[in-house]
Structure 1
Amino acid sequence: MKLYYAPGACSLGIHVLLEETGKPYELSLVDTKNGGQFSPEYVAVNPKSKVPALDLGDEGPVLTEWTAIASYLAAANPEAGLAPKDPLGMARAVEAVDYITGTVHPHAFTRQFRPHMFSGREEDHPKAVETARANAAKYFDLLEKNWRGDTWVLPAGFSIADAALFFVEYWHVKRVGQSLPPKLDAHFKAMLERPAVKRALEQEGLAA
């Protein structure tokens, strides 16, 4: 397998899951800061021009979209314990992942980091950032109040939901410099202690 990634992007969560599987894989850097996602070479890999993308090798064509990749890794590596085994537990994991990737990611962070995507007028960009930061506070508060698990997102233990939550927590703390609510802060610190997370951060040249 080959993971197409950008350091510190949402692909970090998939990188963590690959490390959790213990299976061999390659990394292929996509220089998103300089538009590498739009290069002909990468568009040939993923026409959506975003990361992550996972080349499955002999298993088939490239797989895209965070939830799809994470669900595949969980199903293909049951021994790694990346998802609950019962249908409702798996649905809860996907429920959390979908909220994080579909709501928290774009409206709390993409809006902060790329305000031009949400407002065509440059003079409106500060307002877009302000809205994004308010969204982040609201979304994290909701996650805090509806926390189902103990250390991990779900009562069943570590899952794909934790890898998804980790990358937005990482952005909030390390890129934006904001604090997390108590339960999410404890989760973030627990994630930083996982060997798979430490390896992924080191390989991407990111601070723990």
Structure 2
Amino acid sequence: MKLFYSPGACSVGIHIVLEEIGKPFSLELVSLKEQAQNTPQFRALNPKGKIPLLQRDDGSLLGQYTAIAFWLAASNPEAGLWPTGLEAQTRALEFVDYITGTVHPQGFTRQFRAGMFTPSEADQPKVVEQGKALAAKCFEVIDSQWRGDTWVMPEGYGLADSAMFFVSFWAIKRVGMPVPARITAHYQAMLGRPAVQRALAASGMAA
């Protein structure tokens, strides 16, 4: 398998899943800072121009964070990342979708790429502040609906945790914004996992 990634991007969550599974994979850098996702070469692979992108062993390409995470976990049940039972699976997908569909684009894309949300450069600081406020509200919602203990889900460690990690990493390390104590504790617990340490080190990201 090959993961197309960019350091500091949400692809670190998929990288963590791959490290947890433990099967061979390689990394292909697609630098978002250099707009590499918009090159003809990458667009030929993924017309959406998005990472993460996973090339599977049969050569097929799979995009979209939630779909990649689900496929990896469901096709490698021995790793224990995908819960059993319809309700547990549904709740796990509900959480990952909230992270990737709301927290990421509304709370953090507004902070990191404010120009996407306004044609006026003068208004970009307002967009950033709006993103911070939205991210803070999202973390409050997550905290209020936390269903597990150390890990997000009551069934234990899984896909929800790797998704939670990449937005908490952004909040704590990149932005320096306060988050609820439960989320800080989860972030610290994630940093203690060897798979997380390997993923961060491979991307040159300081914990």
TM-score after normalising by structure 2: 0.98
Q: Is the deviation greater in 195-204 or in 37-46?
A: 37-46
Q: Distance in 1 between matches of 2:80 and 2:42?
A: 31
How much has 1:153 moved relative to structure 2? Answer: 0.5
Hey, what does 2:83 align to over in structure 1?
84
Hey, what does 1:133 align to over in structure 2?
132
Q: Distance in 2 between matches of 1:111 and 1:84?
A: 32
How much has 1:84 moved relative to structure 2? Answer: 0.7
Which secondary structure state, in structure 2, belongs to the residue aligned with residue 106 of structure 1? helix
Show CA shifts across 1:103-138 (max 9, x none).
000000000000111111111111101110000110
Q: Distance in 1 between matches of 2:77 and 2:57?
A: 19
Q: Which runs of 4+ in 1 moved over 6 A?
A: none
Matches within 5 A, 1:28-107: 28-58=28-58, 61-107=60-106
Matched, 1:173 2:169: no
Equivalent position amino acid for 1:75 in 2 = A
Hey, what does 2:181 align to over in structure 1?
182
Hey, what does 2:24 align to over in structure 1?
24
Hey, what does 2:5 align to over in structure 1?
5
Hey, what does 1:164 align to over in structure 2?
163
Hey, what does 1:114 align to over in structure 2?
113
For these two proteins, the number of residue pairs brought into alignment is 207
How much has 1:8 moved relative to structure 2? Answer: 1.1
Which secondary structure state, in structure 2, belongs to the residue aligned with residue 156 of structure 1? coil
Hey, what does 1:14 align to over in structure 2?
14
Which secondary structure state, in structure 2, belongs to the residue aligned with residue 178 of structure 1? coil
TM-score after normalising by structure 1: 0.98
How much has 1:179 moved relative to structure 2? Answer: 2.4
Equivalent position amino acid for 1:67 in 2 = T
How much has 1:183 moved relative to structure 2? Answer: 0.6
Q: Distance in 2 between matches of 1:126 and 1:202?
A: 32
Q: Is the deviation greater in 61-70 or in 174-183?
A: 174-183
Q: Distance in 2 between matches of 1:133 and 1:179?
A: 10
Which secondary structure state, in structure 2, belongs to the residue aligned with residue 135 of structure 1? helix
Hey, what does 1:146 align to over in structure 2?
145
Equivalent position amino acid for 1:15 in 2 = H
Equivalent position amino acid for 2:6 in 1 = A
Paired-residue identity, %? 56
How much has 1:57 moved relative to structure 2? Answer: 2.6
How much has 1:44 moved relative to structure 2? Answer: 1.1
Structure 1 alignment gaps of length 5 or more:
none
Equivalent position amino acid for 1:185 in 2 = T
Q: Distance in 1 between matches of 2:138 and 2:32?
A: 26
